[in-house]
Structure 1
Amino acid sequence: MSGLQNTAHELRDEVNLLDKQHDATARMVQSLDQQLVAITDEVATTTSDLAKSEREAAIRREVLQRRLVEIYKRGPLYSAEVLFSAQSVGQLVARYKYLHLLALRDKGLVKRLDELHEKIEAQHGQLVRLQSSVVENRSEKEKEAARLDDLEKLQTQNLQRVQEDTRRTKARLAELEKSETRLNNFIASFEAERRRAGSRSAANLAASSIRTTDIGRLDWPVNGAFLYRFGRQVNPNNTTTRWNGVGITAAVGTAVKAVSAGTVAYAGPMGTYGNTVILEHGGGDYSVYGSLARIDVRKGARVIKGQALGTVGVSDPALGPHLHFEIRRGGPAVDPAEWLRAAR
């Protein structure tokens, strides 16, 4: 059962991790979409600015070309002729100012063309980079979208695995409940028969070999550590298991010994308990030894304290080799850990 619980827990953790990865990837794809929109807008703006700069540069070049043609046609002495042909000082000053402004205009035109050339070159470079960013963005988006698709498939597969594991766990719990009911009915039937026999003969109502003074003093039926404890346990998938005994881990083949003298009330298979021996100790007290690989006693046999009843086996691969041990006092199960000696 612990194996099924651990598997369910691990699968749930895996599904949660996949959910987080899915959300992160979905956010990444959304972010890439937003970046692509922003880059596309910037490409459009840069393309528009580049077209404007190129149109302005074309106009400026045409103007400059006309000025160069005019200067060439007039010759290198045109400026001197204009100045020397002035008929007064005022006319000379006016013509000088005109020629100076014309030179400044030509100089500004050349400077503006240089600026436009640099701007066009920079815009061309930016446009190339933006177009490269668009390609990279689309490529990265395709990768993330493929990864998102893979994660969604994994989510579906793991959800199916969790559902199947939950179904198996519930089925296993149903089997445990069924076997427990069978064990309870057997002990109740055996106890009723014992009491009926006792009504005919007082000898059949002997006191139990397990006494209250044995609390915390009984030898362990097998040396090992607790695999599971007595009582109610909530599983990772929110199902509930109630153990009427304890599980004690031990190697396959380890001898299992009686904790007290008694009579073998049952020796054989018992559903999910596997091979099981039930000892009747008198006074309505019983001890149960389940998950045995081999049974070395027969029904009706008298056994003494410490006598080997069988060997440890594996009744459930999910639990591994262990002994399932119960103590029944007057019918109901009690916590065996309270009756065993403190672990050495």
Structure 2
Amino acid sequence: MSTDRSAVMPALRRLAVLVAALMVASAANLAAQSAIGDQIRDSQDRLDQIRREKQQLAREYDQLSGQIHTFSEEISNIERRIGSSRGALDELDLQIQAYAIQVDETTRDMLRTHDDLVLRRTELEARLREIYKRGDLHAVQVVMEARSFGDLISRYKYLHLVARYDRTLVGQVQRLEEQLAAQRQQLAQEFARLRGLRGEKQREVRDLETLETQRERRLANTQRRVAQAQTRITQLEEEERQLGNLLAELERARREAERVAGTSTTPTLRTSDLGSLNWPVQGSVVYRFGEAKPDVEDVWKGIGIGAPRGTSVAAVESGSVAWAGSRGVLGQTVIIDHGGGYWSGYLYLQDLRVRSGDRVNSGQVIGHVGGDEGSASGTHVEFQIYEPGRDGNPRQVDPVRWLRGRS
């Protein structure tokens, strides 16, 4: 009995050492898997951040491009208005030149009128002096000196004609004076009108030229920002590509660690589940997988399900919460690992009811509908499904094919 015990004890000790070694190796493998998983999550976070920034830059790029188009149209419109105003200035200058010729002619007419007026005034003054010298009884004297009735009639007609001529002469002098005054007033008014119009057009041209300079500066600044945004987008695309490669390498390392550890997860999603999953929330589809996003050179990676804010959102199948937290522009987000390379994503949540690492069951509430009420999509949740890709990496697919048909 003593001999059997002494023979068994070394074997037990060797077995204990082997078990301990296996436990250490298993712990090391698990630690390695955990470290790789952390690296994957960190890398995925950086990749998501880059994609968000890229989308924001793309939106900014489109907006700036639209501004460039608007500024270009404004500048073109301003240039046309400046051309029109300058054309009006040219027409005013032609009018002023034509009016200057008219002024010269009018001035000559005024000089002739003035000379005629001087002549009439001189003649009138002479008649007045003659009448004054002869006195008030001159007409009576002329009549009384008539030698016959015929001579009387002749003298009377003469006096009548002289009186009428005197009245005509006075009227001519008055009309000439009024004509000169009217011509002077008309010239002054026309010159004032033309000077005012030309001054207004000059101010209009100056204002338009100032506006054109401002628009050209804003256009140049916008073009510079567009170039910067385009450069940054190019950089982000390259960084996204590099991080994508890194993520693929980390995923391969994770699978290798699982292989070495001899462990694997049983997927809770299978192709046999196609068309049988419950919808994460009841509502209308506001956008579909693969549709172009507005104002961004990108497409939707899932489907948008519109529902009132606060409506419960449930997991479509059981699994492990790989991520639960804020994703920037994507809002509160939950990503569930269903094993075997299958994942489901729930974006634009109002709040979270699970944490990273939690196990969830099918139909369990993981959050509530959020989304932006002011956006075109309104309050909604975006639902995504990932399947194993040919390269072993998850690829996004149309979630509708996994969901139960609705009547």
Using the size of structure 2 for normalisation, the TM-score is 0.54
Corresponding position of 1:112: 172
Provide closer, same or farther for how the CA distance between residues 324 and 213 of structure 1 changes in structure 2, counting only shifts above 3 A. Answer: closer
AA at the equivalent of 1:327: I
Instruction: Report the 3-state secondary structure (helix = DSSP H, G, I; strand = E; otherwise coil) of the residue aligned with 2:226.
Output: helix
C-alpha change, 1:6 and 1:325, in structure 2 (3 Å) is: farther
Equivalent residue, structure 2, for 1:4: 60
Aligned partner (choices 137, 144, 157) of residue 197 of structure 2 = 137
Structure 1 residue aligned with 2:374 = none
CA contact (8 A) 1:43 1:127 kept: no
**Post-superposition offset of 1:163:** 1.9
Closer, same or farther in 2 for the Cα pair 1:45/1:336, shift >3 Å?
Answer: farther
Task: Give the Cα separation in 1 of the matches to 2:400 and 2:339.
Answer: 21
Q: What are the ranges of 5 or more consecutive residues in structure 2 without an aligned counterpart?
A: 1-55, 307-311, 371-379, 390-394
CA contact (8 A) 1:285 1:328 kept: yes
Distance in 1 separating the partners of 2:317 and 2:164: 120
| Structure 1 unpaired stretches of 5+ | 250-254, 313-321
Structure 1 segment 226-305 matched on structure 2, within 5 A: 230-233=290-293, 235=295, 240-245=297-302, 260-262=317-319, 280-282=337-339, 285-287=342-344, 297=356
**Residue 45 (structure 1) aligned with residue 105 (structure 2):** no
Residue 327 of structure 1 is matched in structure 2 by: 385
CA contact (8 A) 2:276 2:404 kept: no
Going from structure 1 to structure 2, the CA distance change for 1:192 and 1:97 (only over 3 Å counts) comes to: farther
- Asked if residue 212 in structure 1 is aligned to residue 274 in structure 2, the reply is yes
Provide the C-alpha distance between the structure 2 equivalents of 1:179 and 1:275, rounded to a whole number of angstroms. 25
Deviation at 1:110, TM superposition (A): 1.5
Give the AA of the match of 2:60: L
Amino acid corresponding to residue 208 of structure 1 in structure 2: L
Instruction: Say what the alpha-carbon RMSD is for the aligned residues.
Output: 5.9
What amino acid is aligned across from residue 218 of structure 1 in structure 2?
W
> Aligned to 1:146, which of 200, 206, 231?
206
Change (3 A) 1:33 1:18: same
Task: Using the TM superposition, give the Cα deviation of residue 111 of structure 1 relative to its aligned residue in structure 2, in angstroms.
Answer: 1.2
Tell me by how many angstroms 1:113 deviates.
1.9
Q: Paired residue for 1:318? A: none
In structure 1, C-alpha distance between the alignment counterparts of 2:244 and 2:89, rounded to whole Å: 64
- Spell out, residue by residue over 1:292-321, the C-alpha distance to the aligned partner (whole angstroms, 9 max, x if none): 9x99637xx976555869xx9xxxxxxxxx
What secondary structure sits across from 2:280 in the alignment? coil
Distance 1:326 1:126, change over 3 A: farther
**Paired residues of 1:273 and 1:291 also in contact (CA < 8 A):** yes
Other structure's SS at 1:232 match: coil
1:36 and 1:137 in contact (8 A); partners too:
no
**Alpha-carbon contact 1:218-1:339 (below 8 Å) kept:** no
Q: Deviations over 1:42-72 (max 9, x none)?
A: 4763575363443443333233223323433
Deviation at 1:160, TM superposition (A): 2.3
Separation in structure 2 between the aligned mates of residue 190 and residue 260 of structure 1, nearest angstrom: 26
Do 1:179 and 1:273's aligned partners in 2 also have CA atoms closer than 8 Å? no
Q: Is the 8 A contact 2:289 2:399 kept in 1?
A: no
Normalising by structure 1, report the TM-score.
0.61
Distance 1:127 1:195, change over 3 A: same
Q: Contact (CA 8 Å) 2:275, 2:403: kept in 1 or not?
A: no
Give the structure with higher Rg (CA): 2
Question: 1:267, 1:230 → 2: CA distance?
Answer: 25
Separation (CA, whole Å) in 1 of partners of 2:303 and 2:173: 93
